[in-house]
Structure 1
Amino acid sequence: MENDKEKDNEAFPLRFSLFHGVPPFLRIIEHGKEYKPSMPEELTLFTMLAPSGISPIIVKTIKAAGFNVVQKSANYDVRLLQGPLRNNEESQVGAVWDCLPVTEKTKDEINFHRLNYQSKINQFPGLFIIGRKDQLWISYSKMVQQFGNEHFNFLPLTYLLPKDRDLLISDMERKPRVWIMKPPNWFCGIGITLISSKEEIPEKKNVICVQEYIDRPLLIKGLKFDLRLYVLLTSLDPVRVYIYEEGLVRFATQEYTNDPKDMKNTFIHLTNYSVNKNNEEFIHNKNPGQFEGHKWNLKTLWRYFEEQLGIDWRPLWEKTKDICTKTVLCGHEHMSREYNKSIKSEYNCYKLFGFDVFYDKDLKPWILEVNNIPSLHINDIDAFVNFPMIAEMFSLVGFHYPRDIGLKYQRVISEKLGIKKSSNGLGITNAHYTRERTKREQDKIDRYKDTGNCPDETMLGDLTPWDLRVLMHSEDEFAATKEWTRMMPSKDKDYVQFLTNYSYSDKLLGTWELKYGTSRERRKEGVKLLQEMALENKHIEPVVKKNRGSLYISDALYLSLK
């Protein structure tokens, strides 16, 4: 279903795929803007399931788009996520925004294998491997051992108590310095304290992270600061990672000093908004772009670097994006293994992370932690950054209309929007996202299994339906980016060397990007090639599969027989 006239209209209610036969995506516009033409009432039947306590940024964005957010009261949260979602994953269609702290455990609370192919959730299996501070350090340490400090030297030295207690004491005695102690799965600065002597080490059985404190921070107006950056993972097979070009700069509220007598002053040493907002000296910044208040947007920081400090921020930003990408890859081996065991549809998962990044006096970027449940506040500066970020993210990851509703209402929606009726309907079909492979597809995958990590253009010579779907998903996603920058796959940096589980799809997409991702003109050539094959429906191979002993017809075959 396509309409060339409407494709470039960013206020149109649907975002059309670049490719024939792929159902359209629901366009999510930024809060405060309006659709043109208006959103048909039938499209608003799309629903997002979420617990109460969800960020107003999410609620307002979804509701402003005309869709429904199904929330429950505070005393119903657990039943919502452990009942309707966690015991009935197969029955949920539409979107799910999962944001309860149970996702911070060291096991998955969601049965991903049972997810309905029409459901899209902001989770992947195994995310705790980088979202918990202890697990991130363990995963990072493995990467250091395998690839060396040349590539992995951006996480402060960390000891995990009680296991590393003796090592920490030995280090303290050898080189006296300050350490910052953090619970592994808490957030908003809860439970954080600074220590400098072995007598302050707690005697607890629960895991505690003790991290080397970076005591030479880059200061602005005498204040310590860090960055909240947004990283988006849209696929694990192949890996696709994005970073948002805006972010938040969060300041401490008292002038920095490393005087021991002020070591316990959290307004000096912590930059968390949840901590510093309690200081009566905290100033809200109501004017994005101005050098005022205790929270800025990232592009204001870059302008401050240029105008006040005489620093070219661009190389620093490239280093920052690089370590964010490598941090995601620290968890890739575990996450991809769980993903391949559990996920049946490429449509099901995406994840927004909040990365906390710190700059020292030498302009070296450090990763402080990864937040699986980033706070999305609605204060002035936060709203300025988060509303467009979330709207673009939702459009980028691509929500489809549920299949049955799409079939039922496609005639009236098509008439209201003035678009051509499609034989495939408005709604999602499993055939476009299934992870099941035909014999032909698996045979090709097996042929390239032991051919190394280097790009191989022979892969592009005989593209299977699986190949085409991988490349089409990637191009549709890339076409929706504005402020989200794709970091992986990359034509400029060799991130695949850090993939211990380097899949066939990673190699395929990497080869494609090296051939067609080097310029806008080359990408147009690649997209045109895929479009020609999509017109012949080569991306879908009708198959009849066995399900619990009985035959059922795939979506593709079902639609071709209608």
Structure 2
Amino acid sequence: MNKRAAVGYGAGGGKGGTRRGAGLGEGGQGNANRVIRFRCGFTNTILDVLRNRGWNHVTEEGADWDFYWCDVGWMREVFDHCYMDEGARICHFRNHYELTRKNLMVKNFKRYRKQLEREAATAGGKSEALKMDFYPPTFELPTEYHMFVEEFKKHPSATWIMKPAAKSQGKGIFLFRKLKDITDWKKNSVYKPASQQNHQDSQGEKEAQVETYVVCKYIDNPYLVGNKKFDVRFYVLVCCYAPLKVWLYREAFARFSTVRYNLESIEDNVVHLTNVAIQKLAPDYDPERDCKWSFASLKRYLTAKHGNEEVAQLMREIDELVIYSLKSVQKIIINDKHCFELYGYDIMLDTAMKPWLLEVNASPSLTASSPQDYELKYRLLDDMVTVIDMENRLTGKEKRIGGFDLMWHDGPVLVNDGGVEYTSAPGHCTNSFLGCSNENRQKQLKQMMRQANIAKRHNNPTQPNQNTSVQQSAAAGVA
């Protein structure tokens, strides 16, 4: 008896159910000619991508599916109570929040850093913990309030930023410089979970439990372009945590504030937060002007100002930021062969061109803010689905799939002409191309599919030719 039958859950969407997927993905064995059944909990770009691949969109309550793009609420409420067949795939890991919830992310970073320090002390070598220096001093409130106060007193002139641990789009964030601002803030109902703001016991005396926040030292020397602050959003696809397998997407973008940076006006979030949801609140916001810049353009700008060497060092540090952030949760995330995760990483640069990790998003926005944004996100998602390989068309040895480059597979992946190679020695170029050209994407996909088809036919002469249907699938995407 499976879990679904044991608890009486229905199939398909809603409250879970059985999954009869037959494809294994990423070079697994399955039927390449079957029609994939998918469910999708969103009506934005991802739905367009899945429909254009010729898959069958199942919407009936109780219908089986092979691929489900669900929200994190479904994972929390249903995942543990449903049975999924061999080839079914779903877009989150069970406890993804260990990396994407702000307080848990920092907790895991601190724990992993201490682990690396202990290992270095035992081995008598150079500590890898130095690689974890990509996040500012951060504390969870209210549990670490006294630790925060001690750190606060060491930096009396510093600016600090408060963030709700489990909210997004800039909700509930504010900057401060005085401890009394915390006292005033605690009296405000914003500090309490919405579900508990008006809760009282029968005597009307029980105070609601406070909402968890994180407070971190504000990076007050951001790198500016045109005197405006920006952050960078890029995308990381994790197909497996055991072993860790990481793909980095080439295309990314910088999000700019619409107003000039001014540290004196700490009460104005439009100056300090670059989220589109916040920038829309600016009085002179123009929806026709997309406040975004491709990372390729930003990279060219930085190269012109600082030279190739400094930009190459920045890219190496971004690679390390990605890998060490994922390694910090590798043994904590519940690995499941049905699960994958497309993370949205948000970083910012300071005046020394040092990257700082702001947050990692489990559900990065897939709603386009402009035609160019739609095209980028369409390419991203279409390539992501190709990597997942529900149709079983790949060999599993690919190092580039469209705009995705395999940067880590139980070790760093190197740039070379042969197969996947790994090394821990310094001085090697890893297989990551963030900000590099993706213009030959369609050509690369077609060539890769032809090579994969030839390899599979060589290994299995009775296998039918899949090349034509693959090229049609690739051509359906936005170029």
The TM-score with structure 2 as length reference comes to 0.69
| Residue number in structure 1 paired with 2:302 | 305
1:208 aligns with 2:199: no
Q: Residues 25 and 395 of structure 1 are in contact (CA less than 8 Å); yes or no, is this contact kept in structure 2?
A: no
Secondary structure at 2:85 match in 1 = coil
**Compared CA separation, residues 55 and 144, structure 1 to 2 (3 A):** farther
Structure 1 counterpart of 2:275, from 261, 272, 275: 272
| 1:427-438 superposed matches below 5 A | none
Output one character per residue of 1:356-379: Cα deviation in whole Å (capped at 9) or x when no partner: 011111100111101011101222
The aligned residue for residue 57 of structure 2 is: 69
One-letter amino acid of the counterpart of residue 150, structure 1: L
Shift of the 284–300 alpha-carbon distance from structure 1 to 2, 3 Å rule, reads farther
Alpha-carbon distance change, 151 to 493 in structure 1, aligned in 2, over 3 angstroms: farther
What SS does the corresponding residue of 1:367 show, helix, strand or coil?
A: strand
> In the alignment, what sits opposite 2:291?
294
CA distance in 1, matches of 2:146, 2:429: 52
2:139 aligned with 1:159:
yes
User: Any idea what SS the aligned residue of 1:332 has?
Assistant: coil
Given candidates 154, 162, 170, the residue that maps to 2:150 is 170
Q: Which aligned segments of 4 or more residues in structure 1 are displaced greater than 6 angstroms? A: 15-19, 517-520, 530-533
Distance 1:193 1:481, change over 3 A: same
- Is the alpha carbon distance of 1:493 and 1:178 closer, same or farther for their aligned partners in structure 2, counting shifts above 3 Å? farther
Question: Which whole-Å deviations, capped at 9, do the CAs of 1:405-434 have from their partners, x for residues lacking one?
Answer: xxxxxxxxxxxxxxxxxxxxx9xxxxxxxx
**Identity over the aligned pairs, expressed in percent?**
21
Correspondence for 2:160? 179
- Structure-1 residue corresponding to 2:407: 487
The code of the aligned residue for 1:354 comes to G
Q: Over the residues paired in the alignment, what is the CA RMSD in angstroms?
A: 3.6
Find the aligned partners of 1:487 and 1:334 in 2 and give their Cα distance. 21
CA-CA distance at 1:278 after TM superposition: 2.7
Quote the residue 1:385 is aligned against. Answer: 376
Give secondary structure in 2 for the equivalent of 1:206: coil
Is 1:147 aligned with 2:152? no
Matched, 1:93 2:68: no
Counterpart in the other structure of 1:88: none
Contact 1:129 1:331 in 2 (8 A): yes
Equivalent position amino acid for 1:363 in 2: M
Residue 305 and residue 512 in structure 1: after superposition, are their counterparts in 2 closer, same or farther (change >3 A)? closer
Evaluate the alpha carbon distance shift between residue 24 and residue 114 of structure 1 in structure 2; reply closer, same or farther with a 3 A threshold.
Answer: closer
Q: Would you say the 8 A contact 1:17–1:25 is kept in 2?
A: no
Is 1:119 the counterpart of 2:100 in the alignment? no
1:46 to 7, 15, 36: 36
Q: 1:329, CA displacement in angstroms?
A: 1.4
2:144 partner letter: D
Q: Contact conserved, 2:26 with 2:387, CA < 8 A, in 1?
A: no
Using the TM superposition, give the Cα deviation of residue 518 of structure 1 relative to its aligned residue in structure 2, in angstroms.
10
1:191 has 2:182 as partner: no
Which one of the candidate residues 233, 237, 241 is aligned to 2:238?
233
Q: Tell me the equivalent position of 1:22.
A: 29
| Change in CA separation of 1:25 and 1:219 when aligned onto 2, cut-off 3 Å | farther
What is the alpha-carbon distance in structure 1 between the residues aligned to residue 430 and residue 355 of structure 2?
Answer: 29
Counterpart contact for 1:283–1:294, Cα < 8 Å = no
Partner residue in 2 for 1:513:
421
Between the aligned partners of 2:39 and 2:25, the Cα distance in structure 1 is 25
Shift of 1:55: 4.9
Q: From the superposition, tell whether residues 512 and 218 of structure 1 become closer, same or farther in structure 2 (CA, over 3 Å).
A: closer
Q: Work out whether residues 243 and 321 of structure 1, in 8 Å CA contact, stay in contact via their aligned partners in 2.
A: no
Number of residue-to-residue matches in the alignment: 373
Q: Is the 8 A contact 2:26 2:396 kept in 1?
A: no
Question: Contact 1:98–1:122 (CA<8 Å) still a contact in 2?
Answer: yes
Q: Aligned with 2:249: secondary structure?
A: strand
Q: 1:101 to 1:180 in 2, by over 3 A?
A: farther
Q: What is the SS of the residue equivalent to 1:370?
A: strand
| CA distance 1:47–1:275, change in 2 (3 Å) | same
Question: Conserved in 2, the CA contact under 8 Å of 1:285 and 1:381?
Answer: no
Question: What secondary structure is seen at the aligned counterpart in 2 of 1:117?
Answer: coil
Match of 1:557 in 2: none
Q: Which residue of 2 aligns with 1:75?
A: none
Partner-residue secondary structure (3-state), 1:150:
helix
Secondary structure (helix, strand or coil) at the match of 1:143 reads helix
Structure having the higher helix fraction is 1
- 273-282 or 176-185, which deviates more: 273-282
Q: Which amino acid in 1 is paired with 2:224? A: L
Q: Per-residue displacement from partner, 1:523-561 (whole Å, max 9, x unpaired)? A: xxxx99x97995599xxxxxxxxxxxxxxxxxxxxxxxx
* Other-structure match for 1:315: 313
Q: Do the aligned partners of 2:413 and 2:420 also contact (CA within 8 Å) in 1?
A: no
- Partner secondary structure for residue 111 of structure 1: helix
Is the partner of 1:319 in helix, strand or coil? Answer: helix
Q: Aligned AA for 1:489?
A: H
Are the structure 2 counterparts of residues 112 and 142 from structure 1 closer, same or farther at C-alpha, using a change threshold of 3 Å? farther
**C-alpha separation in 2, matches of 1:309 and 1:70:** 52
Choose which of 380, 386, 402 in structure 2 pairs with 1:395. Answer: 386
Q: Please state if 1:359 is matched with 2:356.
A: no
TM-fit CA distance, 1:206: 2.2
